[in-house]
Structure formats: C-alpha cells, structure tokens
Amino acid sequence: MNKRVEYLFFILSVILHVKCDQNTKLDPVRDQLELYRQNVKGKQNFTTLFNGSPVDARDKITLNNDNLFDNRFFVEAITHINRQNIPERIVHGRGAGAFGYFEVTNSIANVCRADFLDTVGKKTPVAVRFSLTTYGGEGSDTAARVPRGFAIKFYTETGNFDIPGLNTPIFVLNDPIKFIPFRRTQFRNPATNIRDSNMVWDYITTNPESISVFLIILGDSGIPKGYRHMEGFGIHTYQVHNKKGEVFFLKWILTPDAGVASLTDEEANKLNAADPDSFTRDLYEAIGCGKKVSWTVSVQILTKEDVKKAKIDVFDITVRLPTKLYPLVPVGKLVLNKNPLNYFSEIEQLAFCPGNLVRGIDGGVDKVFQARKFSYRDAQMYRLGVNFNNINVNAPDFDHSTYFRDGRAPTLNTGNDSPNYFENSFNGTIWDYEPKRPKLYKVKDKKPNNTAQATEIYNEMSKAEQGRLVTNIVNSLSLAETFIQNKAVKLFTEVDPDLGKSVSNELNKIEKKSSCDGLFSDSK
C-alpha cells in the first residue's frame, strides 16, 4: 500500500513539475539553447562540410576509422579550431553589444546638416558596443573599477557614422603619443604578469592631466550599475556645419533613461565572485525580456565666438565643458531592442573608427582625434583584415561603390566588371561635391592647468563621497613604492590640501607585509 502511495506521489510531482516548467517564462540567457530548440523544432538542417556536402553520421566518431585522415569531417574540424580565434582588441577587449535605433526628438538642422538629425521622428538603425577599456580582455570581471567604452555606429542614409565614446566626460591624455605608455601601465607588469600599482601611479603622477579621470573612476561613479545605468560621452568637441556652411561645435552626451546608478566596491566584488559576466548578462536579459533599454542623447553646442571667448581650451579632451555655460540640448533617444544572434559575427567583428563621418559632421579638431582616426582603422585592419568594412555588421545599409578592391576576404563583389582605377573615361563611379563644406578649425594648444578641474570634481563630492574616494585611492596606492606614494600625495595636495592630507594619513596607517609571508598559508 505504501509503495502505491509513493508511486502516486511521484507521478503527481512529475505532472506538477511539467506544469510549472510550462508556466515559467524562459530566461533569455539561461535558457538560450532551449529557446533555440523550440524555435527550430522540425526545421533542422543536415550537418555539412565546408563544401556543402552532408556529413555521414559514422564520421562523427573517429575511434574505429581505418585511416583518421580519410575522415574529412575530422580534418576540417581540427584544422579550423586551430584558426578560429582572431587577435583581440588591444584595448576594449571585454565587451557586450546590442542593436536598436536612434530617434530624433529635436531637430538641430540649423546647426548640423547630417541627415539622421534633421527630422523629428526619424529613426536610424544603430549598433552599440560597451566595453572595459584597460582591464584585460575576454574573461575579465565586468564589474571592475575601470573606464568603459560606449561606442555607437549609426547606419545613416549617407553612410555609417561612429562615436567611439567612453563613460567619462574626459580622457586621460591630450597628447596621442602618451597612449602607448598609458595602455601599458594599466595592464600587467612584463616580468611578473601581474597588475602593478607602481606602474599605474607612476603614470598618473608623471602625467598630472590624467588625475581628473582617475578621481571619477575612483569615486562613487567609478563602477556603473550595469551598462543600462551607464552614461556615455563622445569625449571630443566635434566640428559640424549646416547647409549654409556655417560652422558649429558640439559634444555628445548620453544619459540613461533607467537613471544613473553605481555599485560600491563591496557590491562589485560580490558580483565578480558570483558572476564575472554580470554586466553582459544584465544587458542581454533586459533586452530579451522586453525591458526598456534607452538613453537620452544630448549635445552641448558652441559657436565660433564661444570658442574664442572660452577661458578653457574647449578642444582639450582632458577638460569638461561646463553645462552652466554650454547647457545640454536633447536631440533624440537611443533605444536598444535586439540582441545579437551570434556574438562573434555581430559584436566581436563590430569595428568602430572615429574617421567614419558623414556629411555635416567634420569630426574632432584635436590631435588625439586625428591619431584615433588612423590607429582605429589600422587596428581593425590588423584584427579583421583590410576588407573589414565588408563584414555585414560594418557595411552601410545600402549599395555603395568604392575603388578599394581585392585583398583578403570578405571581398564581396569587388566592383564586378567596373573600372578599378580613377580617373577613367568608361562610366565609372562619379564623385560627390559639397560646395559649402568648411575646412577644419585650426587649434592652438593652450597651457593646461592640470589640477583646476580635478579640484572642481573633488569639491562636487559630498563629505561621505570624499571619504570613499580616499579609501579607494589608498587601496590601490598603498601597494606602490613609498617614493611613488609621496609623489601622489603631493599631486593630491595640489588638487585639494584636505585630500592630500587624508590620503597621507591613511597611507601611514598601513603596514606593508613581508614579501615572503605568502598569500596562502603553507600546508603542514
């Protein structure tokens, strides 16, 4: 009798479990494979070789093959996996991305003639990639305290326009040659292969223009609460022009509609320990579940007169443009509503370049923008090949013609049978002409005040925020050599005497452990 009751309970539990599974909404990340299984049920294709011929089921097992290398499936599989990886980005290696649209809510056609900005209600497809800038590559903790990338590709009617932006309003340098030492000091020591606070703080104290960014990153806003709560900034002051050829200057700012929110170190450490992919997961799940993922896109607009009157160098990307003088003008909404079908194809191969500009947007006039135009294109050619713009996710949304031919795949039609040289007399492609296109504004670099803005940033913090900033600074700086610490204290004192004093006092409380104590105790 008892066995019959147990059996009935077992049957009932199975029925209830099945019913619960049917009523439970599938998670876009956790249940991605189950969603795929349901979507393609009864529609499966045959497994094929590269030439399209189907693979015999017996060839998926190699144990009993007479000659292993007669098994074409094995040969193609093993030779392909050895070559399936491409070079990782030198920075921004760890990333996540999605697709959606930009919709104009306020036309600025009087300032900029770019077609995707000219009509209220107009929608332009976009691709967006979020990333960690200088904190390792794939596999890095997504909730790390580092600057982040916020890059946007607009697929406009007149070509692709890219904004390879960041989550900070400023950058760490204004001289492009300094990028090389900056990048190296943020990664690993070449001898130990371990992150080195000496390298980080040696760079900061030797290049004081970088201090403002590090105050932001080490402050309360240093770790956003996922990408959906992260701000975006175009960094550079772009030159633009209208249909009359009148020149203006603007900066791009993106404010999350979900609200700006950040994580504490404790929250971030817990997230990283439990799920190093937390930021990527949150973005993918939110879009997959139909949640609103959007930003308000605004610009700060300057005239030539504003530039001449400005007391700061408005083209120096280590300097913020004050919103009191140059208020934010909303221009549209950035909405993400589609996850990638395949991460490698659509996000890893997604290639941005500041030089991808469209009519009406002339680009930045500073030296770093000029350097980025070259280095980004060079980096993409190295990673993806000379024809990286022929990859679907990088190509314009319309048929286009260039004189750039051949090379490594993908080559598409390489111009078919049209002439491959210019000028030619055989009805080759014709040239565009914009009679009122202005020349780029010429900039004279002004002598910077490296700590004035850092002082502003520090004074904008509450006392509690300042206290947490000091804790974050000391957690990193305490691992550096004493003479490096002294240089840092001197720099912080120039920013604010109280900041320098607080950092110095906290450093003095820390006693360095013996180098041979070991992280883990020796087992007996």
The CB density around residue 271, as the number of other CB atoms within 10 Å, is: 21
Residues whose CB falls within 8 Å of the CB of residue 197, separated by 6 or more in sequence, listed in order: 476, 477, 478, 479, 480, 484
Pseudo-torsion of CA 381, 365, 404, 387, nearest 10°?
20
How far, in Å, are 58, 71, 76, 487 from residue 49 at the CA level?
Answer: 14, 11, 8, 62
Q: Does the annotation flag 101 for ligand binding?
A: no
Do residues 391 and 380 touch, judged by C-beta distance below 8 A? Answer: no
Residue with tokens 């004093």: 501
β-partners of residue 94 are 132
Residues whose CB falls within 8 Å of the CB of residue 179, separated by 6 or more in sequence, listed in order: 173, 371, 375
The CB density around residue 257, as the number of other CB atoms within 10 Å, is: 15
Nearest one of 244, 445, 242, 252 to 362, comparing CA atoms: 242
Residues whose CB falls within 8 Å of the CB of residue 426, separated by 6 or more in sequence, listed in order: 419
Report how far residue 268's alpha carbon sits from residue 218's, in angstroms, rounded to the nearest whole number: 13
For the annotated binding site for heme, the residues are 376
For the annotated binding site, the residues are 376
